[in-house]
């Protein structure tokens, strides 16, 4: 009988199988095009198994994967890792609890990233519990050191981040959690798009309802994700538009008072 793996790390074979499976799901979902996207799994204290550069995630094989250390140096494999590996390594460095990272370009979420709109509205209970809010990291040239630097502030307190004009990154305690957060992120963005731009209305949850969901999230052992905005946590100035005539009268009165005081001096 084969001995069961009780380590917190997947074996090389287990991780390789999981990466190929997730790559196919990302490709079939339309989260990546051509050779876009990358996936990594931590398989040891100083070992990462990751996807190669210039390979479609829908046609990837286990033999193509490459093993690197936490400094990005290749340990084994006949291919080169993606230039975006720096981003994955930064997530692992900033948050030791992370065991897997996914990066993709899901079209709706990426559209929000291009528009500079964070995913922070409390409209879906599942999104509040499983994902939380998704901030936007400042724009950085893909493949450069500026990318990992841009996401570093978000790695401990959130479960995902949008990359301005680029795509999305998610992470988790295993590669399936990281990938499921990617799915949740795209679904959340899609619902926000429909309610905001097509239907034109979204009934947001209240702060009390959000608090209850955050408590459920904590009970699941998830202490990251931030707290989305509820309908009673903010109010648009459009809700109570100012009286322009009143403002003009106030300005005129203040001006007269200032001029009178100035002339008397």
Judge contact between 151 and 91, C-beta under 8 A. yes
Predicted confidence (pLDDT) per residue in 141-165, tens digit? 998 999 999 999 999 999 999 999 9
User: Does residue 257 lie in a domain region?
Assistant: no
- What is the pTM assigned to this prediction? 0.83
User: Does residue 227 lie in a domain region?
Assistant: no
Please give the pLDDT value at position 241: 41
Give the chain's domain count: 1
User: Does residue 117 lie in a domain region?
Assistant: yes
State which residues form the domain around 120.
12-219
SS (H, E, C) 66-123: EEECCCCCEEECCCCECCCHHHHHHHHHHCCCCCEEEEECCHHHHHHHHHCCCECECC
User: Does residue 166 lie in a domain region?
Assistant: yes
User: Does residue 149 lie in a domain region?
Assistant: yes
Tell me the H-state helices in the chain: 12-29, 85-94, 107-115, 125-130, 146-151, 175-193, 207-219, 244-264
- Give the CATH number, domain containing residue 100: 3.40.225.10
Instruction: Name the band, by pLDDT with cuts 50, 70 and 90, for residue 236.
Output: very low
The pLDDT mean for the chain works out to 88
User: Does residue 91 lie in a domain region?
Assistant: yes
User: Does residue 155 lie in a domain region?
Assistant: yes
Please give the pLDDT value at position 231: 72
As a whole-number percent, the residues of the chain with pLDDT over 70 amount to: 85
């Amino acid at each position: 009988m084969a001995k069961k793996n009780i380590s917190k790390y997947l074996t090389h074979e287990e991780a390789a199988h999981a990466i190929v499976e997730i790559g196919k799901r990302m490709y079939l979902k339309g989260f990546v095009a051509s050779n876009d996207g990358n996936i990594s799994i931590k398989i040891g204290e100083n070992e990462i198994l990751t996807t190669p550069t210039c390979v479609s995630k829908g046609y990837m094989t286990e033999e193509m994967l490459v093993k690197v250390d936490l400094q990005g140096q290749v340990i084994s494999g006949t291919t080169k890792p993606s230039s975006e590996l720096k981003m994955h390594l930064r997530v692992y460095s900033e948050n030791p609890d992370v065991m897997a990272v996914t990066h993709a370009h899901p079209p709706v979420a990426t559209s929000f990233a291009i528009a500079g709109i964070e995913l922070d509205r409390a409209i879906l209970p599942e999104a509040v519990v499983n994902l939380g809010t998704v901030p936007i990291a400042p724009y950085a040239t893909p493949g450069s050191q500026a990318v990992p630097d841009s996401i570093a502030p978000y790695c401990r307190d959130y479960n995902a981040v949008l990359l301005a004009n680029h795509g999305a990154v998610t992470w988790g305690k295993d590669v399936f959690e990281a990938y499921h957060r990617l799915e949740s992120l795209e679904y959340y963005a899609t619902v926000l798009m429909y309610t905001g731009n097509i239907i034109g209305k979204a009934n947001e949850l209240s702060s009390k309802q959000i608090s209850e969901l955050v408590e459920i999230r904590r009970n699941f052992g998830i202490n990251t994700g931030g707290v989305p905005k509820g309908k009673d946590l903010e109010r648009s100035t459009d809700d109570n538009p100012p009286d322009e005539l009143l403002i003009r009268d106030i300005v005129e009165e203040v001006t007269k008072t200032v001029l009178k005081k100035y002339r008397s001096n």
